[in-house]
Chains A and B, each alone.
Chain A
Amino acid sequence: MPDLPELNPVVHGRLRLALLSLLVGVEEAEFTWLRAKTEATDGNLGAQLLKLEEAGYVAVEKRFVLRRPQTLYRITETGRQALTEYVRALKQLLGPAIDA
């Protein structure tokens, strides 16, 4: 029997997984957009984004637009790869149950 893969604990968190999945489909996204899509609280969202940033999965850019601060997030190549590997591991773990 082949060894079952480990699930990346950084990606596995529900909110972090949702954030990576959102960011994989867009070029970059604002904090407010991510908050609206996940309906998470500011504190929780900020904490989870920081964990992803520390893992090198997302890159952050802070800038001013019409004198208003704007925080933009985008998924890095490492983050994209981590998500791909996570999905592969998930499918392997679920095996035939995936269609059930």
Chain B
Amino acid sequence: MQDHATEQELKDRLSLIESMIAEGRRNTERWGWMFVLWGVAYYVAMAWSAWGHSARAWPVTMLIAVVVAIAFASLTAGNHPGTTLGRAIGSIWIALGISMFLLFLALGLSGRLTDQHLFAAVISAILGMANGASGLILRWKVQFACAAVWWAAAVATCFGTDSQGTIVFLVAIFLCQIAFGIYGVIAEGQERKRRGPIHA
């Protein structure tokens, strides 16, 4: 067989193996939308609490976002096979969700969630941790850059005025949730377009 196989054809086979193995492990399109969803949810909660002056803004928005995220995940779950890597990344985000839910629920109920700077700093630090861990596991520089932005936001929101802290938090949400999420979806689409269909 190899008499007929050109060097280019053999190289093509090798790159096909590499790209398909990577493809099997990739889930950025699905998670890209999830990042955008949470980014929008943060914006809605912040706008509602700022203009509506409602204490229910964050818990209600977060609850709706959880329901939408679970519905979306269960709808797409059947189309995505399980991998060890996928479970590792999923575990980070599930643990993050549980930690944030318990911490902010307890802080809210105890009446100690009064410092806006502390609130933004804690959320930013936790999101920096999750993005950092995920970026290191996936060796994904863009996601690790998001972690760096969150960590910078965590530090920056501890200083300055309320409005300065809010602006920093809003910018971090835009860059690391909405822009990063859309980037994930586009990158996946472009990769598929570049590769094209595989024929026998």
A residues contacting B by CB (< 8 A) are 4, 6-7, 9, 12-18, 21-30, 32-33, 36-40, 44, 47-48, 65, 70, 83, 87, 90-91, 93-94, 97-98
Contact = CB atoms under 8 A, between A and B. Distances in A.
B1 A7 contact: yes
A6 B14 CA distance: 15
Contact of A70 (B1, B78, B200): B78
Interface string B75-92: 000111111000000000
Interface stretch (B5-13, B51-59, B65-73): B5-13
Contacts of B82: 26-28
Given A14-B198, A14-B200, A33 B81 contact: yes
B23 interface: yes
A17 B13 CA distance: 8
Nearest to B20: A21
B199 interface: yes
B163 interface: no
Interface residues of B, number: 27
B82 to A, nearest CB: 5
Interface of B: 1-2, 5, 7, 10-11, 13-14, 16-17, 20-21, 23-25, 78-83, 192, 196-200
A53 B132 CA distance: 41
A30 B24 contact: no
A44 B200 CA distance: 7
A25 B10 contact: no
B7 A22 contact: no
Given A21-B16, A37-B20, A70-B78, A9 B83 contact: no
A97 B1 CA distance: 18
B1 A6 contact: yes
B197 A26 contact: no
Nearest to B197: A39
A21 B24 contact: yes
A18 B192 CA distance: 14
Nearest to A39: B197
B7 A97 contact: yes
A14 B199 contact: yes
A36 to B, nearest CB: 7
Contact of A18 (B16, B79, B81): B16
